[in-house]
Amino acid sequence: MAIDRVPELLCPAGDLERLQTALLYGADAVYLSGGSFNLRAKSRGFDLEHLSSAVSLARGSGVRIYFCLNALATENDLGPIRKYLDTLSGLEFDAFIVSDPGIIRLVRKVFPDQVLHLSTQAGTYNSQTALFWSEQGVDRVNLARELSLKEIKLLARNKAKKPELEVFVHGAMCMAVSGCCLLSAHLNKRSANQGLCTHPCRFDYRPRAMALEERTRPGRMTWQVWEEDDYSRILSSDDLCLVKYLPWLIRNRIDCLKIEGRMKSSGYLGMVIDVYRTALTDLYNMMFRPDLYLEELALTGSRPLSSGFFLPERKIFVRPEGGRERKAILARVAEKLEESVWLVQVKSLWKTDRDIELVLPGLRRPVLSNKKYFLETVDSTPLAVAHSGQTAVLRTDDPQVVPHLLIRSA
């Protein structure tokens, strides 16, 4: 399929490490936040000093940077938000991501010309809603995750030239409508709508009933509870995975493809971003390898990867219990110390008598024999085993090693 445009690939950057990972593995744009008033308030985020550095880093890589202010504000939040906006006045973001009309109004007062992108929490389900937000000065809307491909196609066909359309293509989903959930507030007094979700949908519950059969569907278990170690995750949704449908999304003129995951590890993000960047590049070069993409994504998840609401019937592409061997992210290259010598941050147990893989952009995974590298402590003591959280020194002549590269087990 020949394509004349490639949609923007928008990736999360929960902190500096994740930002560097997104830049290396091919993000066109990143979204990040400070410590407050966003839907990942418990992510590390960036303080004002580091926000300025993040903007410069993204700009230097030719990557757009979007700032999240997408929490739903209570009355007590309005004053602090206005003050917070004043502190951001010296920073030049390419857009603010918002969802609350009150916050939109405050942003407009401080930044009258700021580009605005609407979060999925606002629930855009049809072309008239998209047009309404465009009339309020919103330049892009992230469509509700509950929309099917037919509904997205009809909306895209019927909307005016503006606003741009953005769609989540990968990552965690919520059991609530467009993420507007009350479970966390009910159970732990921490509101998901203010970025404080404790994810009670992922908790383990002891089942009292195992299956429900609906009256008009005899013989079919409409709702089932699966038990593991005496507890079950009865509310936990699948993770979304639309990599197979990138050609469809491009044909239907979706402007931006968004990956969820500001709370995910840099190892997870690097592998996921690399898959979607490679798939988009492949499409531009008139090739497409969905089996390869899914094979790689299968190494990243702890929950099933599915089509979510995108297809008429949900389709599960990968189950985490599929029996495949996991390839652990062993380390991340932090910086170059000297020629062929690298400082690395160890992410999981690394036995140095094993071969390793370099996670290179473009889904290139060359194997580095255990004879081709040497690991030692920062004070030059040889290491047979390195542990998670440890900082170590990697010696290798392989020219493909660069800062922020991921290393995984072979």
* pLDDT (tens digit per residue) in 370-391: 999 999 999 999 999 999 999 9
DSSP for 235-304, written as a single string: TPPPEEE-GGGHHHHHHTT--EEEE--TTS-HHHHHHHHHHHHHHHHHHHTT---HHHHHHHHTTT-SS-
Assessment of whether the complete model's pTM goes beyond 0.75: yes
Q: Kindly state which CATH superfamily the domain 329-409 is placed in.
A: Translation factors (2.40.30.10)
User: How does the average pLDDT of the chain come out, rounded?
Assistant: 88
Average pLDDT over residues 52-75: 94
DSSP H or E segment with residue 59: helix 48-60
Range of weakest confidence among 68-77, 98-107, 166-175, 260-269: 166-175
Q: How many CB atoms lie within 10 A of CB 233?
A: 16
Q: Which two tokens stand for residue 266?
A: 């840099």
**109 exposure class (CB count in 10 Å sphere: 0-12, 13-18, 19+):** exposed
Q: How confident is the model at residue 207 (pLDDT cuts 50, 70, 90)?
A: low
Contact 99, 119 (CB under 8 A): yes
At residue 358, does pLDDT exceed 60? yes
- Ordered by start, the domain boundaries in the chain are 8-173+237-318, 204-236, 329-409
pLDDT 10s digits, 177-202: 555 565 665 566 666 555 566 766 66
Residue 229 DSSP one-character state: T
The pLDDT value recorded for residue 301 is 77
At residue 151, does pLDDT exceed 70? yes
Proportion of the chain above pLDDT 90, given as a percent? 68
For residues 358 and 248, give the distance between their C-alpha atoms in angstroms, rounded to a whole number.
31
For the chain, how many residues are written? 410
pLDDT 10s digits, 325-343: 679 999 999 999 999 999 9
At residue 208, does pLDDT exceed 80? no
Residue 185 DSSP one-character state: H
- For 124, phi and psi rounded to 5 degrees? -90, 110
Bridging pattern class, strands 341-346 and 329-338: antiparallel
pLDDT 10s digits, 7-35: 999 999 999 999 999 999 999 999 999 87
**CATH 1.20.1260.10 correct for 8-173+237-318:** no
- For 247, phi and psi rounded to 5 degrees? -60, -40
Q: How confident is the model at residue 307 (pLDDT cuts 50, 70, 90)?
A: very high
State whether residue 392 is helix, strand or coil: strand
For residues 27 and 322, give the distance between their C-alpha atoms in angstroms, rounded to a whole number.
29
Q: Which two tokens stand for residue 36?
A: 């407050």
Q: Which two tokens stand for residue 384?
A: 């047979």
The pLDDT value recorded for residue 45 is 74
At residue 369, does pLDDT exceed 60? yes
At residue 232, does pLDDT exceed 80? no
Q: How confident is the model at residue 314 (pLDDT cuts 50, 70, 90)?
A: confident
Segments in 114-222 forming alpha helices (H): 127-135, 149-158, 183-188
The pLDDT value recorded for residue 225 is 61
Q: Which two tokens stand for residue 233?
A: 């995750």
DSSP for 88-104, written as a single string: TTT---SEEEE--HHHH
The pLDDT value recorded for residue 189 is 61
**375 exposure class (CB count in 10 Å sphere: 0-12, 13-18, 19+):** buried
The pLDDT value recorded for residue 228 is 61
Residue that wins the pLDDT comparison between 381 and 215: 381
State whether residue 170 is helix, strand or coil: strand
End-to-end CA distance of the chain: give it in Å, rounded: 34
Q: How confident is the model at residue 176 (pLDDT cuts 50, 70, 90)?
A: low
Is residue 185 left, alpha or beta, with left meaning phi > 0 and alpha meaning psi from -120 to 50? alpha
The pLDDT value recorded for residue 382 is 97
